[in-house]
Chains A and B, each alone.
Chain A
Amino acid sequence: MCLAIPGKILTINALDDTFRTGKVSFGGIQKEVNLCMVPEVQVGDYVLVHVGVAIGKVDEEEAQKVFNYLKDMGEVEELQTPPDGK
């Protein structure tokens, strides 16, 4: 649970500085992600996401390699948890 997982930004909803969120796709799994710590990113960019918050930007090639590696290691299963935890 300590690693950041790269994903691609599909949409951005900017409400204000702390509520800047977006939909991010992680190899097809979509999650709502907070984007306030990476103000420079745009739709189509790749970000490193840790427990629902983007903490840095990565380039596409790096993002894909890292994602595949994490998938092989079984480190992306946490993305499957439903939002109400049930």
Chain B
Amino acid sequence: MKYLTEYRDPELVEEFIKEIHRITTKPWTLMEICGGQTHSLVKNGILDMLPDKITMVHGPGCPVCVTSVSVIDEAIYLAEQPNTIMCSFGDMLRVPGSKKSLLEAKAEGADVRILYSPLEAVQLAKQNPDKQVVFFAVGFETTAPANALSVVHADQMGLDNYSILASHVLVPPAMEAILSDEENLIDAFLAAGHVCTIMGIDEYHPVAEKYACPIVVTGFEPVDLLQGILMAVQQLEKGEYKVDNQYARSVQREGNRLAQDTIQKVFAVSDRVWRGIGNIPQSGYEVNDRYKNYNARIKFNIDLPLAEENKECISGDIMKGLKKPKQCPNFGTKCKPEHPLGAPMVSSEGACAAYYHYAAQE
């Protein structure tokens, strides 16, 4: 458990906690969307500071956790093609596919590289004209501009050996899928700050309206999270449901227009299968027709059978807020960060790994 003085603004932290306790009269369940927020809530001991009446559940906002088994299989298939360099963000390598992970494919000899940015993959393509370079383009709205820009760059440089395997996911449709689930328990959402830095906040108004659900755009530091929780509880206690912005220092109402233009230039909204949750209509981005030569699925004619999800992993219930990681029978036994059964145990932003690392120390 942390001491208050360790926080960036200890007085503010204390003030927010007191105020949350003072105004909470009914039990409320809140979901934070973003995995960075989950990591922060758990690591900083914030869950223990909240009133018993407030339950935080941890949403699907970690691309490592929601990329489907079938897409991991596609990435491995591409990595195993001759003369191909498969590039990915590091966290994706350990996610189990139906037979193996990218890391295991790499150990067997596939050329799999960990990159910081998709733009570096374009450079690799330029330096290796005799190889096909594929970037594993996962992520939420925050990551979409960079992945889109890599395609624009490759196109402007006339590279015909670069493509992306897109598995982009979008926040608002996921919120709607969670809220319309008949078992839904969630009273309010903390939306993800940096997603809104790109997209702005207007697309959340219809969701708040339709489901009578307060949505507070929130940062990821302890003071931000506590203030976001306070703003959500204030609305709940008053019976209000609107979109509030706690993170105004980084999020403008209209978002970053240039970033949105880049996304629209390269991607089209498409259906997407979320690991553990299933298909959510219109909840992802795929490379559009104009740039189809950069779509690895088309370029390599990928046609793999749909992979089964591991039935032992209850990540879907966790990401919908129906269960906590510790309620999974495999948590900490068959499933650990060293040998994850499911994706939320892979990255520190996955709820299961966050609980394993920090809550286990209690």
Contacts and interface: CB of A to CB of B under 8 A. Distances in A.
Interface of A: 1-4, 18-19, 31-32, 34, 36-39, 48, 50-53, 55-56, 58, 62, 65-66, 69, 73-75, 78-79, 81, 83-86
Contact of A1 (B64, B119, B192, B258): B64
B250 A37 contact: no
B259 A78 contact: no
B275 to A, nearest CB: 16
A34 B120 CA distance: 11
B153 interface: yes
Contacts of B256: 37-38, 55-56
Interface of B: 8, 34-36, 39-40, 43, 61-64, 87, 89-91, 113-120, 123-124, 139-140, 142-143, 145-146, 149, 152-153, 156, 192, 194, 197-198, 220-221, 249-250, 256, 258-259, 262, 347-349
Given A3-B194, A78-B90, A84 B124 contact: yes
A65 B35 CA distance: 20
A65 B119 CA distance: 27
Nearest to B139: A2
Given A2-B36, A85-B87, 10 more contacts: A1-B349, A2-B63, A3-B194, A19-B156, A50-B146, A51-B116, A51-B139, A78-B116, A83-B116, A85-B115
10 contacts: A2-B143, A4-B194, A18-B149, A31-B116, A39-B258, A50-B194, A51-B146, A52-B146, A55-B259, A58-B249
Given A2-B63, A79-B116, A56 B39 contact: no
A81 B115 contact: yes
Nearest to A17: B258
A50 B262 contact: no
A32 B116 CA distance: 11
A2 B140 contact: yes
A73 B149 contact: no
Contacts of A84: 113, 120, 124
Given A55-B198, A78-B89, A19 B145 contact: no
Contacts of B34: 2
A77 B61 CA distance: 20
Nearest to A6: B250
A18 B90 contact: no
Contacts of B220: 3
Residue among B40, B63, B140, B149 facing the most chain A CB atoms (10 A cut-off): B149
A3 B197 CA distance: 11
Nearest to A3: B36
Given A2-B62, A37-B258, A83 B120 contact: yes
A13 to B, nearest CB: 14
B13 to A, nearest CB: 13
B143 A51 contact: yes
A30 to B, nearest CB: 12
Residue among B89, B116, B262 facing the most chain A CB atoms (10 A cut-off): B116
A50 B116 CA distance: 9
Contacts of B117: 31, 51-53
A71 to B, nearest CB: 12
Nearest to B259: A37
B114 A81 contact: yes
Contacts of B156: 18-19
Nearest to A69: B221
Contacts of A48: 194, 197, 250
Contacts of B36: 2-3, 75
Given A31-B116, A85-B115, A53 B145 contact: yes
